[in-house]
Amino acid sequence: MTVMRRMRWDDMSEADRAALCHRGLDDIFNPTLRDSIGRIIEDVRVNGDDAVCRALRDFDHIRLEAHQLRVSEAELANATVSAAVDAAIDEAIAHLRTFNNTVRERASDWIVESEPGLFVGEKITPIASAGLFVPSGKASYPSVAYQLAVPATVAGVPELALVVPPVPGGGGEVDAAVLVVCRKLGINDVFRANGPAGIAALGFGTDTFPKVRKVVGPGSPAVTCAQVEMQRHGVATMMLLGPTESVVLADNSADPIRLAADLLIEAEHGTDSAVVLVTTSLALADKTDIELARQLDLLPEVRATAARAALGVNGGCVVVTSLAAAAAVVNRYAPEHLQLVVHESVRQPTLDLLTEAGEILVGQHTPFSAANYVLGCPASLPTSGFAHVSSGITVETFLKRTAIATSDETAMLRLAPSIIALADHEGFPAHAAAMRLRLSQ
């Protein structure tokens, strides 16, 4: 029995290829789920905090009163983690600041004189408010908290709120590591809520939750569906941050032991994860499969079960005839996470072919876990093929661009005939009249 579902790209039908690349959307846009999430959202819209408490009771089996939804100052102040985790959080924040400060510096105001007397440019400013959603349930995710919060604080968003579901099976406690991140980054508006209900509360505003203009954060299909549905109520969200996925593109130079270990990184997240090895080497695939079986036996059963699904029915191994073909497969898949493991002599030419991925990690010294935690690159990345059209969460997620133009009289009079011609053609007489007035004065 092999761990990875085995496929040869050249032998696959177009339907099979499309099926491999199609992941996540059916769960997120399932009509039954959308109806259920729609009812939660409407309940929050109408009933506010009472609906948030109801969702916590019904879906998370935690009973709280409205006044308990906000994390208190004392909880934030007293939250602690081990010294090792505390230091790791500091290191991750430092690297994220470096990355996002650099992005922010590049996203600067600019102006150019496009013709004598006509100046155009852009002004870059932070959005007014944002809500950050940090998942809970399957694991503790302080990494998600700082991956979202550092870019937002670097951007200078004046109003930030963070929502995190309570620890499962508890009495409403919130993961202490997430609270430590919030304290380190100066985020004081922290709330405990069921995922979809919390997202709705941020979008509408309640007696307890502030209303924000944008909500971001990864999560389950229910969480992602809630963000999509809240767009209909004027809330901006990211498309899409759903179940995790990864692809490794490798040739016969790869070490199968490390390759197996790196494939398991994203595979262990859940049975809805998808992990694919794209390789030119059938021998490497065989060796990696043997090593996967060995390493799976070392994982807890819940993680091993998730990994088998991610590498089996949800993903697998695709064998191709060339690195160019491998790059084409990867670009069509457009993975959230991509690792490139090829011989150094062909590394750059292959990298040049890769354009569709949330992130590209080069070499076996750059595993997904390093990027997820401390490298400083964004780790909240588009899934389900949305890497074709969108990017990970960085400081730019929390910035907006305002166009600015200034024209002197000479430039405007020179442009007037073109403006009049287009206004007359489109049937907007007031547009044209404003220009004719200037020509006649």
The DSSP element (H or E) to which 266 belongs, if any, is helix 256-267
Q: Are 271 and 253 in contact (CB under 8 A)?
A: no
What pLDDT is attached to residue 308?
97
Which residues neighbour 437 within 8 Å (Cβ) at sequence distance 6 or greater? none
The DSSP element (H or E) to which 191 belongs, if any, is strand 189-192
Report pLDDT digits (tens) over 200-247: 999 999 999 999 999 999 988 899 999 999 999 999 998 777 789 999
Which residues neighbour 271 within 8 Å (Cβ) at sequence distance 6 or greater? 305, 306, 309, 310, 314
Sign of CA dihedral 426, 431, 433, 436: negative
What pLDDT is attached to residue 138?
66
What pLDDT is attached to residue 29?
82
Q: Are 314 and 5 in contact (CB under 8 A)?
A: no
Distance CA 104, CA 102 (A): 5
Q: Are 292 and 4 in contact (CB under 8 A)?
A: yes
Enumerate the β-bridge partners of residue 6: 317
Report pLDDT digits (tens) over 163-176: 999 999 889 999 99
Sign of CA dihedral 96, 101, 103, 107: positive
Q: Are 248 and 339 in contact (CB under 8 A)?
A: yes
Rounded to 10 deg, the angle between the 176-185 and 83-106 helix axes is: 40
Please say if 425 is a catalytic residue. Answer: no
Report pLDDT digits (tens) over 102-121: 999 999 999 999 999 999 99
List, for the chain, all residue ranges whose pLDDT scores fall below the cut of 70: 138
Catalytic residue among 268, 336, 356, 359: 336
Which residues neighbour 186 within 8 Å (Cβ) at sequence distance 6 or greater? 153
Amino acid making up residue 87: A
What pLDDT is attached to residue 441?
87
Helices (H), 1-58: 14-21, 25-28, 31-47, 49-55
Read off the DSSP letter of residue 381.
-
Ordered by where they begin, the domains of the chain are 6-24+243-376 (3.40.50.1980), 28-233 (3.40.50.1980), 408-440 (no CATH)
Work out the burial of residue 429: count CB atoms within 10 Å of its CB; fewer than 13 is exposed, 13-18 middle, 19 or more buried: exposed
Catalytic residue among 266, 337, 356, 359: 337
Please say if 229 is a catalytic residue. Answer: no
Give the global pTM: 0.92
User: In 3-state terms, what secondary structure has residue 355?
Assistant: coil
Parallel/antiparallel/unpaired status of strands 159-164 and 189-192: parallel
